[in-house]
Amino acid sequence: MSGSPVGVPDAVHAAALCAGAAAGLVVAGRAQGLRRARVLFGRGTGQSPLREGWQRGWLRFGGWIGDRREWLCLPVALVLAVLGESVLPLIAAVAAVPVVRRWLKRRELSRERERRADGVVDLCGAVVGELRAGQEPGQALLVAAYGTGALGAAGAGVSAAARFGGDVPRALGQAACEPGLEGLAGVAACWRVAADGGAGLAAGLDRLEGALRAERRRREELRAQLAGAWSTVTVLALLPVLGLGLGAALGADPLGVLLHRSAGLVCLVMGASFEAAGLFWATRIVRRGEGA
């Protein structure tokens, strides 16, 4: 079977149709690529996977650094070792890691103790509000403890006693043995008096909250007064570092003298000993003032 030859107009129409289809595919592919790029880089409605992954990785890295901040001594010591061409800074940094870890742990425990003490104050206020709203004492304690989160892990026994009708004052007294929760002993005393003598629990907790707030205010005022003393201790601790920097700026090469000469090593050991003794003594004086 023989077919008729295709004319020029038909070929032109076919070519135009193919070109239009190709252009449409290109435009559609480009639009799809743009949509993918917008989603990928966060320009669409959703959050960017790259940005979300970056934020997650950064938070994980920050949490890892926060849990191991004492190991930051090693990079600083490495820089000093490279500048001074000696391994002594690295040895000193390795020896300083447990000391810094202990200091950071003590500082974190102090902050946690203060947060718990503030939580006890908020707990008293919340219980007073619930009692004046008409709640039963046990239910008021449960709602306040759940709302403020002041008791933390130590509140399991208190919550169980309040929920199942147990000995709430005893549970509060046991929780008061935790650091920072000493104010719960006053809550237990108010609860016991209200249960035995019929006195108003809300009024007693209200007075206890006022006393705890006054104590916290005195503690903050004392911390503000001792801020100057802590600044002096910090300046004294940084003076040797400033001296080394000044010597390096003048071209005296203090690291080379301290790390590579016998007289320099003797001066380094004696200076570090005096520095540690001075910081210990100054810190003890300031902390004794805080304790008083």
pLDDT digits (tens, 9 = 90+) for 233-279: 888 888 888 888 888 888 888 888 888 888 988 998 998 898 888 88
Q: Mean pLDDT over residues 155-165, rounded?
A: 80
- pLDDT tens for 43-66 read 444 555 556 665 666 556 555 555
Q: Are 99 and 71 in contact (CB under 8 A)?
A: no
The pTM assigned to this predicted structure is 0.64
What sign does the dihedral 186-187-190-196 (CA atoms) show?
negative
Domain boundaries, given as residue ranges, for the chain: 111-218, 226-292
**pLDDT in the model for residue 28:** 47
As a whole number, mean pLDDT of residues 175-196 equals 85
Do the Cβ atoms of 127 and 195 come closer than 8 Å?
no
CA distances from 151 to 6, 119, 140, 172, 174 (A): 90, 7, 14, 10, 12
Confidence band, pLDDT 50/70/90 cuts, at residue 27: very low
- At 199, is the pLDDT very low, low, confident or very high (cuts 50, 70, 90)? low
Is the pLDDT at 26 greater than 50, yes or no? no
Q: What is the pLDDT of residue 279?
A: 84
- Rounded distance between C-alpha atoms, residue 18 and residue 12, angstroms: 10
